Amino acid sequence: MDRGRSDGVQLLSHDTHPAVEVEIDVAVLKTEIKKTYASVSDEPEKDFIFPTGRDWAEDLDYPPELATVPDRAVESFAGVANPFSLGRLERGERVLDLGSGAGTDSLVAAQMVGREGRVTGIDMTPAMLAKARGAAAEMGATNVDFVEGEVEQLPCPDGSFDVVISNGVIDLIPDKDAVFSEIERVLVPGGRIQIADVTIQNPISAEGRRNIDLWTGSIAGALLEAAYARLLERHGFERIETGQLVDTYARSKFEDTRRKAEKFGARGTTVKAYKPLP
């Protein structure tokens, strides 16, 4: 199990990260992640080691609702696959978007669930939250809120959502057990996750796990596919289904990233699973 320590250091364990035992300073990592994603928000035209923007979302076959999401959100889209490829959300559903970034997925979801439904996007990067709020106002979306917070300690009551979506975020967080405990807590019984995240095929070396660019680019914190399923089972999820597998980093502008992603078999993956009914 991943172990968080009171001094803010996280030890990656052999259970979820086999063949490597590395200490990560979570505060330093979060500062770097915030810097990277503030830049994705404020300078979307820049080249990042991961693909971004509307062309990328269209290549992932995003649903037709994407067309109505303002450019100011979609230009900073930084997802790794398409969580809606696992199924559309239903009208009236209450949706939580973990690491909502500039708001693309939340604003697609807000159209799917309609006025009877509600979407809450959580993110820790203020520039991303400001962009998402601006895009929601431009769209006139009144059923969506963007809230500052951290996925490992969600500012939400127990059992308050029908669906948790997320795209390219859990792979950035060392303490996966805290993430899935929180998801389990805020879902209603019978609720589901529909998430896109990076998984790897080959274990990452200790050196790779210490590489901050590989962390902020979603690769160093990614789990092996089999470890992902084990993690979900350990947190009580059932009917686990994986969908799309996307060669996300083949789209990177950086040769070194393409090479490392290939070496570790890093791919955008989609996963759906349910919290059991009592």
Reported in sequence order, the residue ranges of 131-228 that DSSP labels E, i.e. its strands, are 144-148, 161-167, 187-200, 223-224
Considering only the stretches 6-14, 88-96, 116-124, 200-208, report the one whose residues sit in contact with ligand SAM under the rule CB under 6 A.
116-124
Torsion angle (degrees, nearest 10) of CA 10, 15, 19, 21 = 20
Told to check if 123 binds ligand SAM by CB under 6 A, we report: yes
Told to check if 16 binds ligand SAM by CB under 6 A, we report: no
> DSSP character for 143?
S
Q: Which two tokens stand for residue 85?
A: 């490829």
Per-residue contact track with ligand SAM, 216 to 255, x per CB under 6 A? ----------------------------------------
Told to check if 77 binds ligand SAM by CB under 6 A, we report: yes
Residue type, 183: I
Pick from 82, 104, 111, 257 the residue near ligand SAM by CB under 6 A. Answer: 104
- Closest to ligand SAM by CB, 238 vs 247, is 247
- Closest to ligand SAM by CB, 157 vs 278, is 157
Query: Residue 162 — φ and ψ, nearest 5°?
Result: -85, -30
- Closest to ligand SAM by CB, 143 vs 216, is 216
Min dist. Cβ of residue 276 to ligand SAM (A): 26
Min dist. Cβ of residue 76 to ligand SAM (A): 7
Told to check if 60 binds ligand SAM by CB under 6 A, we report: no
Told to check if 175 binds ligand SAM by CB under 6 A, we report: no
- Closest to ligand SAM by CB, 84 vs 264, is 84
Residues 252, 50: contact at Cβ < 8 Å? yes
Min dist. Cβ of residue 212 to ligand SAM (A): 14
Residues 187, 275: contact at Cβ < 8 Å? yes
Q: Which residue is nearest to ligand SAM (CB)?
A: 101
Nearest Cα residue to 237 out of 269, 194, 175: 194
Distances (CA, A) of 122 to 96, 144, 199: 8, 11, 22
Nearest Cα residue to 232 out of 180, 195, 190: 180
Told to check if 99 binds ligand SAM by CB under 6 A, we report: yes
Find the angle CA(155)-CA(157)-CA(163) to the nearest 5 degrees. Answer: 90
- Closest to ligand SAM by CB, 100 vs 252, is 100
Query: Residue 72 — φ and ψ, nearest 5°?
Result: -60, -25
Using CB under 6 A as the binding rule, the residues of this chain from 139 to 168 that contact ligand SAM are 150-152, 167-168
- Strand-pairing partners, residue 8, are none
Told to check if 124 binds ligand SAM by CB under 6 A, we report: yes
**Residue 196: CB partners within 8 Å, gap ≥ 6?**
79, 80, 81, 82, 83, 166, 167, 168, 244, 268, 269, 270
Please state, as a whole number, how many other Cβ atoms lie within 10 Å of the Cβ of residue 103: 33
- Closest to ligand SAM by CB, 169 vs 183, is 169
* Interface positions with ligand SAM (CB under 6 A): 33, 37, 77-79, 99-101, 104-105, 122-125, 128, 150-152, 167-169, 172-173
